[in-house]
Amino acid sequence: MKNFIYYFGLCMVLSLLLPVQAQKFDNLAKTPQMGWNSWNTFSVNINEQLIKEMADIFVNLGLNSVGYEYILLDDGWMDMQRDKDGNLVPHPDKFPNGIKAVADYVHSKGLKLGLYNCAGTKTCAGYPGSRGHEYQDALKYAEWGVDYLKYDWCNTGELNPKEAYITMRDALYAAGRPILFSICEWGDNQPWQWAQDVGHSWRISGDITACFDCIEHHEEGDWNSWGVMKILNMRDNNMLRKSAGIGHWNDMDMMEVGNGTLTFHENQSHFALWAMLNSPLVLGNDLRTMSSDVLGIITNKDIIALNQDTLGLQGFKYTTLGTIEIWAKPLSNGAWAFCFLNHSENLAELNFDWNNVTIKDELFGYEVIFNKNNVFKIKDLFVGKNIGNTKTPLKAILGKNQVLVVRVDK
Ligand code: GLA
């Protein structure tokens, strides 16, 4: 008994002396985060007026009613220098009323605000990075009412990535305001191996560019940006999907739906694939000028529901038939989604006989068998109609880079 009292007392004293165990904020990104980010369209050319307009149109178009939530300011929101006390300063011309005013405006619309910074000494566009100022910056974000931090990896020298991201995670946690932590180190240091408890999502690739299957080389700086298919195939999908789950997602980068050379079908395919892969759904187009076609794609509730399904399982490639890739995704309540992607310049004829097909998700132990005793209803999610059941083969003509996305339910 004496021993018990001694050890109990010792534990109590130690627990008072030891600092609170830092962690990432729970209950954020239980499904992949959804929002809009400034970078793909505006680069560093952002300002208070633009962000307010984006928040207005966001709500007017009803993006919030289909699940989009965050307005994210990427690189370029800061002044070139910190102040004399080492604080980050919003760019005085672009954000004359500071970030708190923007956050208040965004919050008044029922939305949330995100900022960007970098683990290095400078951001990728040359603004002050957080290195050596992590706790100070986290306090500022909390004071301003920020809800999301994208944290980049430029100018990091010999920094250890895991340590650097843990430092910022701990700083955010210590600042006390729940802030979603979006890791952006491009997959260079295998974040899928160490970031589950560090961030809520991690980028798996270098920057996206607005084409379906190209690589764009940037002479200055000698780096590449990547089209949709290049990102899709950049890593082993099984390796990625095994680490993702509720509260921590593989981030395939901000979307280019509605941008660049992407056709209507390619926009659909891009959106559907990001949904199937449980990537954060972060729009990167100009919401004020997008076409009704693009609006229809990004607000398709059935496609969004695949991404936001509470089972939280990333889709996988089941097989390829000719030029048609078949991606599968187990959903809650025994439903499944299938995305038939014709990755080709030419038309392709899909004729998929479900009968006696067994699809297994080996990693997570899900399986579906289609036969005459196990018949599923089929819904075409882009057309928005039920198209029969799995008793008869699924037939379609798919154009260049076109998808057919179906959900099968009992
Ligand atoms: C990096 C990131 C991009 C963007 C820019 C900003 O390239 O990967 O997503 O944030 O920096 O400079």
Domain ranges of the chain: 2-307, 316-409
Residue 3's pLDDT band (boundaries 50, 70, 90)? low
Superfamily of domain 2-307: Aldolase class I (3.20.20.70)
Nearest Cα residue to atom 12 of ligand 1? 124
Q: What is the mean pLDDT of residues 89-112?
A: 98
Nearest Cα residue to atom 3 of ligand 1? 207
Ligand 1 atom, smallest distance to 153 CA: 1
Q: DSSP class of residue 22?
A: P
Superfamily of domain 316-409: Golgi alpha-mannosidase II (2.60.40.1180)
Q: 224 in ligand 1 pocket by Cβ < 6 Å?
A: no
The residues near 148 (Cβ < 8 Å, ≥ 6 apart) are 33, 35, 70, 72, 112, 113, 114, 115, 179, 180, 182
Q: How far is CA 251 from CA 207, 254, 257, 331, in A?
A: 11, 8, 15, 20
Instruction: Let me know if the fold of 2-307 is the same as that of 316-409.
Output: no
Closest by CA to 311, choosing from 339, 327, 338, 334, is 334
Ligand 1 atom, smallest distance to 150 CA: 10
Q: DSSP class of residue 357?
A: E
The residues near 255 (Cβ < 8 Å, ≥ 6 apart) are 40, 208, 270, 271, 274, 281, 282, 283, 284, 285
pLDDT reported for residue 9: 54
pLDDT reported for residue 138: 98
Q: 124 in ligand 1 pocket by Cβ < 6 Å?
A: yes
pLDDT at residue 34 greater than cutoff 70: yes
Q: How far is CA 280 from CA 67, 76, 198, 308, in A?
A: 12, 22, 16, 9
**Known catalytic residue at 207:** yes
Residue 193's pLDDT band (boundaries 50, 70, 90)? very high
Q: What is the mean pLDDT of residues 103-116?
A: 99
At 400, list the tokens: 């260049």
Distance CA 140, CA 99 (A): 10
Q: 207 in ligand 1 pocket by Cβ < 6 Å?
A: yes
Residue 285 alpha carbon to ligand 1 centre in Å: 15
| DSSP structure string for 99-113 | HHHHHHHHHHTT-EE
pLDDT reported for residue 242: 98
Q: 75 in ligand 1 pocket by Cβ < 6 Å?
A: yes
Nearest Cα residue to atom 8 of ligand 1? 207
Global pTM reads: 0.95
**Known catalytic residue at 26:** no
Q: Residues 145, 104: contact at Cβ < 8 Å?
A: yes
Q: Which long-range contacts (CB under 8 A, 24 or more apart) does 91-99 make?
A: 91/47, 93/47, 94/46, 94/47, 94/48, 95/47, 95/48, 96/48, 97/48, 98/144, 99/73, 99/144, 99/146
Nearest Cα residue to atom 11 of ligand 1? 124
- Reported as a single tens digit per residue, the pLDDT across 230-283 is 999 999 999 999 999 999 999 999 999 999 999 999 999 999 999 999 999 999
* Of residues 18 and 107, more confidently modeled: 107
Residue 22's pLDDT band (boundaries 50, 70, 90)? confident
pLDDT reported for residue 11: 47
pLDDT reported for residue 5: 54
Q: What is the mean pLDDT of residues 19-39?
A: 91
- Reported as a single tens digit per residue, the pLDDT across 367-386 is 999 999 999 999 999 999 99
Distance CA 153, CA 186 (A): 8
Catalytic annotation, pick one of 75, 137, 147, 207: 207
Q: What is the mean pLDDT of residues 274-296?
A: 98
Q: How far is CA 160 from CA 16, 122, 156, 304, in A?
A: 31, 16, 9, 36
